[in-house]
Amino acid sequence: MSALLQVRDLSVSFGRGAARVSAVDGLSYDLHAGETLAIVGESGSGKSVSSMALLGLLPPRAAHIDSGQTLFDGQDLLRMNDRQMRSVRGNRIAMIFQEPMTSLTPVLRIGQQLTEALVEHRSLSQRAARAKALEMLRLVDLSDPPRRMRQFPHELSGGMRQRVMIAMAMALEPDILIADEPTTALDVTVQAEILNLMRDVQACFGMAILLITHDMGVVAEMADRVVVMHRGKKVEEGPVRAIFDSPKAAYTASLLAAVPRLGARSAEDGPRPIIAQPAEPGEVVLHAEGMSKVFPGRGGIFGRSSGTVAMEEVGFRVRAGETLALVGESGSGKSTSGRAVLRLLEVDAGRIELEGDDMRTLSARSLRKARRAMQMVFQDPFAALNPRISIGRLIAEPMVIHGIARGSELEDRVAALLRRVGLEPEHMKRFAHEFSGGQRQRICIARALSVGPKLIVADEPTSALDVSVQAQVLELMLELQQSMGLAYLFISHDMAVVEEMAHRVAVMRQGRIVEMGPRRDVLNAPRHPYTAALLAAVPKPDPSAPRQKLPRLDLKDLPMGRLAQAAHDHWVAR
Amino acid sequence: MTAPADPIAAVPVAPRRAVWALLRSPSGAVGLAIVLVLVVVALLAPVIAPYDPFRMASGPRLAPPSWDHWMGTDQLGRDVFSRIVHGARLTLMIGTIAVGISLTAGLLLGLVAGYAGGWPERVLMRLVDVLFSFTEIVIALACLAILGVGLINAMIAIGIASIPFYARITHSVVLVEKNKPYFEAAVAAGASHLRLIFLHLLPNVIPTLIVVGTLGVSTAVLAAAGLSFLGLGAQPPQPEWGFMLSSSRDLISRAPWMMIFPGLAIAITVLGFNLLGDGVREVLDPRQRAR
């Protein structure tokens, strides 16, 4: 069988002269009709760049295609002129992007955006294009297609927008669909639906999918064959089963080993012990009760709209040396809860006790003092460090604020902290942008540790990191907890990471905790249907498991009332 | 995995590298050259100028440009070239003082409003909005009506008139920075108000304000020339360029050099600061650098 698309010896670089960086180096692969080929790699592996090169979407002045050819239908895509390329792009090869928020034009109605390409490429009449567009919207399972046609992108949710993108891409019945991280920006239950949809669409149209992703779970669910990339080079290629079961390249093996697998610790009570004698959970450090927060609607001259309930009656306890994971999808109120605990946000009602002190009644001055005991680690280590202050001063800052150390003692402590998190003291004089994502997160952790806190609120601390780096940061966090007896409030959307880190889990939805209990009980035998749905939606990094349709959940009839005790320390919403 | 929010935008530029980058950009290099020439001329005015700018009858009245009087003489026989050279001092003074006033006040207002939030923000920014809705020159005229006519008062008036502009810009930058996690991280570390404002917010606001301030000098120079042209700024016999223009008005056909050269001086100065501002923006604003 001859390949639909043959990529041979493709090399792409950025910049010129001394600043030249090779992004893709001698990449070759074949894509056959009707198959799904996954290109997998971490950030900087060149996986996106190589596929953008196919469609001539690289920034023209910055990027150079140094060599290679990409044969599609007997023609070399890399040597097409603009007009030829336009007749291929969207028409024969369509693309969907990671960010459904920004890949639709915000000022045009969905209908217009859908029909545009049909009129352009297929010379359909407006009327025929409209009929086709409606058919496509129905095909991607959007409710009430005529209404969707009249709506603007901002009126749709992320998942709905990605459906529109797929409808748009498939309307011209392309031979190849390039999907660049199509579900990365979506919640896990929505991701499951979109992956289902992509499979259905492929079964219906028989196009080939070039799937670009960093997520091994998605690969296992979707791909027929896999190309693994690392630093611009292909390190391995093969059928998906072979890649997962017997990876030949060391890099593939290490990548797979770093992927957190849901169920890996289902037989264990706590997280993996890193040190010989880990500290056991001790006294209650944090006790939150009945926290509620309504974000007021936009205040106008003519009064306010009703506002959004971010958090309702949220309460939990965290013990020293213990991790409570707050799990949920975007908008579930998990980050709000974390920030409320630190009083980075004022709650409307509720009680927050840190080591017995009521945080809400503290004056500004004593609150500042109390902040010693609780620190935060943020999701985006790129934004969490002030870019204009050296990291030595950043790490020292909390100690300066609380008058813990000064002069040479301060410097010694900073050096020790850097060493503690696996960095060099010489790094002190550098600025945040000189470090990689993983190193920055280590710096953030060092900064949080500097004042000897009892509690660390970690808001998605690894979700901006590559899996191999994630594994290292998680291990560091476990090690610190076990040796120092830290309490973690660990906010995450990733069930597999939660399983690795947590002693106890609280599942949040729409501002409420719907289930809370020991990690093993909650993840192994969820008692709330929403928890069960979240767990089922997680793509399994195991291609040998049968690819079933992921379950769909009717979210309307979920019990969302008060928590009631279901078993020892296991609470479920009624 | 979420994409990091604009990682380059936050990269600080080392001063030495910044100067290099400035010289490498064409607009920055030309702008810097013009401004440097202006500064040198202003500093060395008594040395450069061949005549006393105030002395009448340095030569014949309304003499066209000649070897003795490069730019001719005015109706009182004063040497136009010497007056323009000395005028450079006034122009630079106007630019720095006016921008200094508006930048300082605008920065403080914007910082306080942006940091405090709540009702102080609403009151301050609405006030700024009200001022913003008038043309700067109208506010400047109103200020002059209160302060009285004169060059110093004109500088103050221009300074006051553009406060809203700087306040708005500072405020918008503060709002962006305040919502970045690093700011929240500092709050969570227990930082005091002063530390938050001056250590965390200010350094991130300054680059933007340097750009805006450089561009603002040219606006101020132009506004001062305008006020002087109307007779509200510089008074005779000050060699202010705008005032020189206005006094040439009736003699356009007889002695065009009286108008052409001050006009050119103003135009070149404005151009110089605009180019410099663009150059500085290219260096400090990484979104442009990243392209």
A positions 101-130 inside 8 Å of B (CB) = none
Residues of A in contact with B129 (CB under 8 A): none
User: Mean pLDDT, chain A, as a whole number?
Assistant: 87
pLDDT value at residue B5: 34
pLDDT value at residue A11: 92
* Structural tokens at position A128: 């025929």
Residue A312, pLDDT > 60, answer yes
A62, part of any domain: no
Closest CA to A72 of A56, A58, A48, A60: A56
8 A C-beta contact, residue A303 and residue A359: no
Closest CA to A317 of A333, A341, A335, A293: A341
Report ipTM for this prediction: 0.73
A450, part of any domain: yes
pLDDT tens digits for range A533-567: 888 888 888 888 766 666 666 666 788 888 888 88
A134, part of any domain: no
Closest CA to B153 of B247, B145, B135: B145
* Mean pLDDT of the A272-278 span: 83
Residues of B in contact with A385 (CB under 8 A): 182, 185
Burial code (b: 16+ CB inside 10 Å, e: under 16) for A488-500 equals: bbbbbbbbbbbbb
CB-CB: which of A62, A387, A466 is closest to B12? A387
8 A C-beta contact, residue B69 and residue B81: yes
Q: What is the residue type of A168? A: M
Residue A505, pLDDT > 90, answer yes
Residue A334, pLDDT > 60, answer yes
Residues of A in contact with B182 (CB under 8 A): 383-387
pLDDT value at residue B15: 67
Q: Measure Cα distances from B267 to B91, B156, B270 in Å.
A: 12, 22, 5
Residue B182 touches chain A, beta carbons under 8 Å: yes
Q: CA nearest A464 in B: which residue?
A: B1
| Residue B104's pLDDT band (cuts 50, 70, 90) | very high
Q: Which phi-psi region, left, alpha or beta, contains residue B190 (left: φ > 0; alpha: ψ -120 to 50)? A: left
Residue A8, pLDDT > 80, answer yes
Number of structural domains chain A divides into: 1
Residue A431 touches chain B, beta carbons under 8 Å: yes
List the CATH number of the domain containing A503. Answer: 3.40.50.300
Residues of B in contact with A382 (CB under 8 A): 4-5, 7, 10
For chain B, which domains are there?
A: 69-289 (1.10.3720.10)
**DSSP states of A408-461:** HHHHHHHHHHHHHTT--GGGGGS-GGGS-HHHHHHHHHHHHHTT--SEEEEEST
Residue A458 touches chain B, beta carbons under 8 Å: no
pLDDT value at residue A459: 92
Element (H, E) at A572: strand A570-573
Residue B199 touches chain A, beta carbons under 8 Å: yes
8 A C-beta contact, residue A364 and residue A355: no
CB-CB: which of A184, A342, A433 is closest to B11? A433
How big is the A-B interface in CB pairs under 8 Å?
100
3-state class of B214 per DSSP?
helix
Q: Which long-range contacts (CB under 8 A, 24 or more apart) does B194-197 make?
A: B195/A401, B196/B115, B197/B111, B197/B115
* Mean pLDDT of the A187-201 span: 86
Percent of chain A with pLDDT over 70: 96
User: Mean pLDDT, chain B, as a whole number?
Assistant: 85
> What is the CB neighbour count within 10 angstroms for residue A296?
11
Chain-chain contact of A184 with B1 (C-beta, under 8 angstroms):
yes
Chain-chain contact of B10 with A389 (C-beta, under 8 angstroms):
no
| DSSP class of A564 | E
Chain-chain contact of B185 with A344 (C-beta, under 8 angstroms):
no
pLDDT value at residue A552: 63
Q: How many residues does chain B have?
A: 291
Domain range for residue A404? 284-294+308-538+550-573
Residue B291, pLDDT > 50, answer no
A375, part of any domain: yes
Residue B8, pLDDT > 80, answer no
A positions 519-558 inside 8 Å of B (CB) = none
**DSSP states of A283-326:** SEEEEEEEEEEEEPPPEETTEE---EEEEEEEEEEEETT-EEEE
> What is the CB neighbour count within 10 angstroms for residue A125?
11
Chain-chain contact of A388 with B203 (C-beta, under 8 angstroms):
yes
Chain-chain contact of B188 with A376 (C-beta, under 8 angstroms):
yes
Query: Rounded distance, CA B6 to CA A93, Å?
Result: 30
pLDDT value at residue A546: 67
pLDDT value at residue B2: 34
Phi, psi of A354 (to 5 degrees): -115, 115
Residue A446 touches chain B, beta carbons under 8 Å: no
pLDDT tens digits for range B38-82: 999 999 999 988 888 888 877 788 888 888 888 888 888 889 999
Q: What is the CA radius of gyration of chain B?
A: 22
A349, part of any domain: yes
* Structural tokens at position A379: 């999701």
Chain-chain contact of A384 with B203 (C-beta, under 8 angstroms):
no
Distance from CA of B134 to the nearest CA of A (A): 23
| Residue A119's pLDDT band (cuts 50, 70, 90) | confident
8 A C-beta contact, residue A223 and residue A240: yes
